[in-house]
Amino acid sequence: MSDNVAEFLSKQGIKKFKSGVKVAFERRGVKALAATAVLVGAFAACSDVSVSDSAEMLKPKTTYAIKENGDTLCAYQAIPVSEKSYERLQKLVNNATRSETGCAVLTALAKQGTALCVEWTGFGSYGYFNPSENAISLNKWASDSQLQSTLIHEGRHVMQCARGAKVEETRDIASNIMTTRLREADAYAVATRFAFEMDKAGDAEPLNTLKSTNKETTSAYARAESKHGAGSPQALKEAMLSWFDDKDYVEQYDDKVVSAWEDVMKKDSLPALKKYSVKKFNADSLLQTVCLWDGCAYAGTDGALLKTPRTAYLCEGVFKRVKEAGDVLRGKTAGAVSDNSAENFFVSKYGRVENKTYRQKAAQNKAFAVKAVAKGR
């Protein structure tokens, strides 16, 4: 997730959104959202080389992903921040070829020309994908087992972007919230599939690490795999859906999206604001665009899956902020533009999701008020 939330929806920085990875530590009982560093200019600072050497080291170098049998899987672009980090990156990439999922993601990265590097990305982050630079940066402070799954997670974000699964300023707030959520849920599902494959290939470390931080997701995947078969679409689907069950973590992503939305509403003028919220949420299209693996829409084609209390809830605090920002939008445009899309989320209060959306709850409260007034006459 981007450090600068203003960049998230601004016309200058919409493409600079960086996807985070769940961190391994706890903060007040809530998994903290990955705090990422800006890729540009970060290589020299805190790297294994001096600043004078960094300019040369920043140049991407064509490197080959080599499988265990010595065959070449693909050529990819690596940024050799230092000799040590370059060797470590090659080890991570080559090891990932032991997995079918790993091979698929690496091949996609090669096709997109995405550059990879291991460097310092800040505390609390395993790494991130920067679309504006088309680069994945893996944090050197993390262990190899942590970075192994992170490489696949962030590689999955590259695949999502290539298919057009992006946050856009012209879409309503519900679309951007759900797009951000589903991208993360899907990336976790694919990284989980990868970890299970690596375990079967003899490397249990990625799965053990994932279990320690994503117990619910790995358990959901294991149950579905046992029932439907190894690597089945159903296993990916169940792992993806389990991501939504961690409401505290989901809320942290929502907070970043809404913070950016609030910032835009405060700063942008009428001409710019008129183009916001034009495109509406198309759940069918989003589901099929994001949750696609090997040509299969593993979560199905019915977007109703993204409109249930399990997937489409919004905590009251976040909803209140969205509503206030929507009031600003409506006021600045003299009513020409409005965005009430968040009203279609289900009410979430103190971690409990109700069976009514905010729109339904408002209608119910209004009916109660009218009835009370009539009764008092």
Q: Tens digit of pLDDT for each residue in 266-284?
A: 877 777 787 777 777 789 9
- Look at residue 139 in the predicted model and tell me its pLDDT: 96
Q: Tens digit of pLDDT for each residue in 91-103?
A: 999 999 999 999 9
Determine contact, residues 96/74, Cβ cutoff 8 Å: no
In this prediction the pTM is: 0.85
Confidence of residue 373 (pLDDT cuts 50, 70, 90): low
- Look at residue 370 in the predicted model and tell me its pLDDT: 66
In this structure, the strands spanning 135-139 and 115-119 are parallel
Q: Tens digit of pLDDT for each residue in 271-322?
A: 778 777 777 778 999 999 999 999 999 999 999 999 999 999 999 999 999 9
Confidence of residue 80 (pLDDT cuts 50, 70, 90): very high
Q: Helix, strand, or coil here: 99?
A: coil
Determine what percent of the chain falls in helix, strand and coil, rounding each to the nearest 5: 55, 15, 35
- For residue 14 the two structure tokens come to 């919409």
Q: Which phi and psi (to 5°) does residue 19 adopt?
A: -85, 135
